[in-house]
């Protein structure tokens, strides 16, 4: 039986999971691939990193640079993370003609265009299934299974930490900080949790998916990003009352001249399967023009689910090597010559439904002043709710709107905020309402 030799760079949580699958399921994988996948090198700076893995003598080393270019290594797995050393080693491995697997979404979102160009030029595979949605095969689904579809939209929960925090606040009533600490203790939050809660990790993943789905160059810079830290238990309670859950969504929509790509807390109706995604699970609904909706659901982080996705890439590459088919599936779904720069629609041009929560004095005429300003900007109110009474203290007034544009909402709210009877900045949450009027798709 042929042998394919693998060099693993980084033996942290995911790296150890990959080593576990490659060693413990070696016979099963060999029977599927038709070759033995040998974990030939494992490199990590920490001498204890491979403890408990029972690696043969000489496999564990501390020099990842050497492994990245070692002549008898066929596939290099970059499991180091970060953007410095990881990028350097991937480029070195590609230059040495190695096929590479990475789970590094932050790196791909920032430097993917150059990395994919380098791999395509060298004729090697650069695989990244684990970079988005952990074990969910979303890259393969878009790139291969839906190759005959125009991808009309993608709506996903792509950050387990945020979903865990929002779910815990919704179901258990615990506060934001406690829920975040629990996510960190469980090991699925990023080392810097602001990447999670401020929406950047979700945006990294959306940048990759948008490029794959629309044939555009990766464009992280123009994605609108809003995190979950301003969401209060009061908004979660109101949402529930109106039949919605609040989720941090990545939303991508096709448009002929510009696509939509945005990350923000969103009210999702109970009827939408995404509203039922619990704890740190991820899910994504992709709508193709031929296929309709497909929803994938599974663990988006964690040792073994992420390792499972990495190993699926290793198996793909091994099969390509055995059949001389490297590059058969274009790395970014489209042929490199077909990939173009596509604008992302400015947020002001987005039309959606809104939830507003104002803190306003409970006096005659207040509601009509607020609704008058909304009316001036063409924002039509679907329903209004006031909680509590009291002439002295502000009370929450909540409004749900019909379809409105972001530009009009921004102007109206800044005018409303200047009213002497309205305090604080109003809370704004966008609503993804499949039963509501649809915005122009531009398709
Ligand atoms: N911090 C990420 C999450 C890990 O919570 O989903 C997976 O990318």
> What whole-number distance in Å separates Cα of residue 274 and Cα of residue 276?
5
What pLDDT, on the 0 to 100 scale, is given for residue 425? Answer: 83
Active-site residue flag, 411: no
CA of 60 to the centre of ligand 1 (A): 27
User: At what angle are helices 13-24 and 303-323 packed, to 10 degrees?
Assistant: 60
Active-site annotation holder among 98, 105, 122, 205: 205
What pLDDT, on the 0 to 100 scale, is given for residue 315? Answer: 98
The answer to whether residue 332 scores a pLDDT higher than 70 is: yes
Q: Could you tell me if 111 and 81 are in contact, meaning their C-beta atoms sit under 8 angstroms apart?
A: no
The answer to whether residue 196 scores a pLDDT higher than 50 is: yes
Sign of CA pseudo-dihedral 242, 244, 250, 254:
negative
CA of 196 to the centre of ligand 1 (A): 7
pLDDT digits (tens, 9 = 90+) for 116-140: 999 999 999 999 999 999 999 999 9
Overall CATH class of domain 138-299: alpha beta
DSSP 330: -
Q: 347-431: which CATH topology?
A: Alpha-Beta Plaits (3.30.70)
The answer to whether residue 317 scores a pLDDT higher than 70 is: yes
Residue with tokens 């238990």: 233
Region of poorest pLDDT, from 47-56, 148-157, 283-292, 391-400 = 391-400
Q: Could you tell me if 215 and 334 are in contact, meaning their C-beta atoms sit under 8 angstroms apart?
A: yes
pLDDT digits (tens, 9 = 90+) for 359-397: 998 888 899 999 999 999 999 999 999 877 765 678 999
**Does 198 sit in the ligand 1 pocket, CB within 6 Å?**
no
Q: Could you tell me if 299 and 281 are in contact, meaning their C-beta atoms sit under 8 angstroms apart?
A: yes
What pLDDT, on the 0 to 100 scale, is given for residue 391? Answer: 56
What pLDDT, on the 0 to 100 scale, is given for residue 246? Answer: 98
Q: Where are the domains of the chain?
A: 3-135+303-333, 138-299, 347-431
- Output the residue whose Cα is nearest ligand 1's atom 4: 301
Mean pLDDT of 228-233: 92
Q: List the alpha helices (DSSP H) in 223-302.
A: 233-242
Q: How many CB atoms lie within 10 A of CB 335?
A: 10
What pLDDT, on the 0 to 100 scale, is given for residue 441? Answer: 38
Which atom of ligand 1 is nearest to 132's Cα? 8
Mean pLDDT of 14-30: 97
Residue 386, beta-bridge partner list: 397
**Does 136 sit in the ligand 1 pocket, CB within 6 Å?**
no
228 or 442, which is more confident? 228
> What whole-number distance in Å separates Cα of residue 184 and Cα of residue 182?
5
The answer to whether residue 344 scores a pLDDT higher than 90 is: yes
Cα 35–Cα 10–Cα 308 angle in degrees, nearest 5: 50
The answer to whether residue 244 scores a pLDDT higher than 60 is: yes
Choose which residue among 300, 302, 304, 310 to substitute to test ligand 1 binding: the one with the highest number of ligand atoms within 8 A of its C-beta.
300
> What whole-number distance in Å separates Cα of residue 193 and Cα of residue 200?
10
3-state SS assignment for residue 355: strand
Q: What is the mean pLDDT of the chain?
A: 94
**Does 303 sit in the ligand 1 pocket, CB within 6 Å?**
no
Q: List the alpha helices (DSSP H) in 287-405.
A: 303-323, 366-376
What pLDDT, on the 0 to 100 scale, is given for residue 438? Answer: 45
pLDDT band at 434 (very low <50, low <70, confident <90, very high): low
CA of 83 to the centre of ligand 1 (A): 16
Which atom of ligand 1 is nearest to 131's Cα? 8
User: What H or E segment, with its residue span, contains residue 412?
Assistant: helix 406-417
What pLDDT, on the 0 to 100 scale, is given for residue 95? Answer: 98
Mean pLDDT of 20-41: 98
pLDDT digits (tens, 9 = 90+) for 159-192: 999 999 999 999 998 888 899 999 998 888 888 8
Q: How far does Cα 202 stand from its chain's mean position?
A: 3
> What whole-number distance in Å separates Cα of residue 118 and Cα of residue 95?
8
Q: How far is CA 9 from CA 43, 80, 192, 300, in A?
A: 5, 6, 21, 21
Spatial neighbors of 198 by CB under 8 A, at least 6 apart, are 225, 227, 229
- The count of C-alpha atoms lying within 13 angstroms of the C-alpha of 267, restricted to the half-sphere facing its C-beta, is 26
CATH of domain 3-135+303-333: 3.40.50.720
**Does 81 sit in the ligand 1 pocket, CB within 6 Å?**
no
> What whole-number distance in Å separates Cα of residue 172 and Cα of residue 357?
23
The answer to whether residue 440 scores a pLDDT higher than 90 is: no
What pLDDT, on the 0 to 100 scale, is given for residue 371? Answer: 95
**Does 135 sit in the ligand 1 pocket, CB within 6 Å?**
no
63 or 435, which is more confident? 63
The answer to whether residue 38 scores a pLDDT higher than 50 is: yes
Mean pLDDT of 287-296: 98
pLDDT band at 439 (very low <50, low <70, confident <90, very high): very low
- Output the residue whose Cα is nearest ligand 1's atom 8: 301
CA of 297 to the centre of ligand 1 (A): 14
Q: How far is CA 20 from CA 1, 4, 35, 308, 343, in A?
A: 22, 17, 18, 10, 42
Which atom of ligand 1 is nearest to 183's Cα? 5
Choose which residue among 301, 304, 307 to substitute to test ligand 1 binding: the one with the highest number of ligand atoms within 8 A of its C-beta.
301
The answer to whether residue 5 scores a pLDDT higher than 80 is: yes
């Amino acid at each position: 039986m042929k042998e394919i030799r693998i060099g693993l760079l980084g033996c942290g949580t995911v790296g150890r999971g990959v080593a576990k699958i490659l060693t413990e399921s070696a016979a099963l994988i060999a029977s599927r691939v038709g070759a033995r996948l040998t974990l030939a090198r494992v490199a990590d700076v920490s001498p204890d990193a491979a403890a408990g893995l029972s690696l043969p003598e000489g496999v564990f080393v501390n020099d990842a640079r050497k492994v990245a270019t070692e002549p008898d290594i066929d596939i290099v797995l970059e499991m180091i993370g970060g953007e410095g050393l990881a990028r350097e080693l991937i480029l070195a491995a590609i230059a040495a003609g190695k096929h590479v697997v990475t789970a590094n979404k932050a790196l791909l979102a920032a430097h993917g265009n150059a990395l994919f160009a380098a791999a395509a030029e060298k004729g090697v595979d650069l695989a990244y299934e684990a970079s988005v949605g952990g074990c969910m095969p979303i890259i393969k689904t878009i790139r291969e299974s839906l190759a005959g579809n125009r991808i009309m939209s993608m709506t996903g929960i792509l950050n387990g930490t945020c979903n865990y925090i929002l779910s815990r606040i919704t179901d258990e009533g615990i506060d934001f900080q406690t829920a975040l600490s629990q996510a960190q203790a469980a090991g699925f939050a990023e080392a810097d949790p602001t990447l999670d809660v401020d929406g950047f990790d979700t945006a990294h993943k959306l940048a990759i998916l948008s490029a794959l789905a629309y044939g555009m160059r990766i464009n992280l810079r123009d994605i609108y990003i809003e995190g979950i830290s301003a969401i209060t238990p009061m908004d979660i309670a109101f949402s529930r009352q109106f039949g919605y859950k609040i989720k941090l969504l990545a939303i991508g929509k096709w448009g002929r001249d510009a696509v939509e790509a945005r990350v923000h807390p969103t009210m999702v109706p109970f009827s939408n399967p995404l509203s039922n995604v619990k704890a740190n699970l991820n899910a994504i609904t992709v709508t193709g023009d031929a296929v309709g909706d497909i929803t994938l659901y599974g663990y988006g982080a964690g040792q073994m689910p992420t390792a499972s996705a990495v190993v699926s890439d290793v198996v793909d590459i091994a099969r390509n090597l055995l059949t001389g088919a490297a590059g058969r599936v274009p790395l970014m779904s489209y042929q490199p010559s077909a990939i173009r720069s596509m604008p992302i629609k400015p947020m002001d041009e987005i039309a959606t439904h809104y939830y507003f929560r104002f803190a306003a004095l409970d006096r005659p005429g207040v509601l009509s002043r607020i609704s008058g300003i909304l009316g001036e900007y063409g924002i039509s109110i679907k329903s209004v709710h006031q909680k509590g009474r009291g002439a002295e203290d502000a009370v929450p007034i909540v409004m749900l709107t019909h379809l409105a544009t972001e530009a009009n909402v921004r102007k109206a709210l800044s005018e409303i905020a200047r009213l002497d009877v309205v305090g604080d900045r109003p809370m704004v949450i966008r609503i993804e309402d499949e039963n509501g009027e649809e915005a122009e798709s531009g398709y």
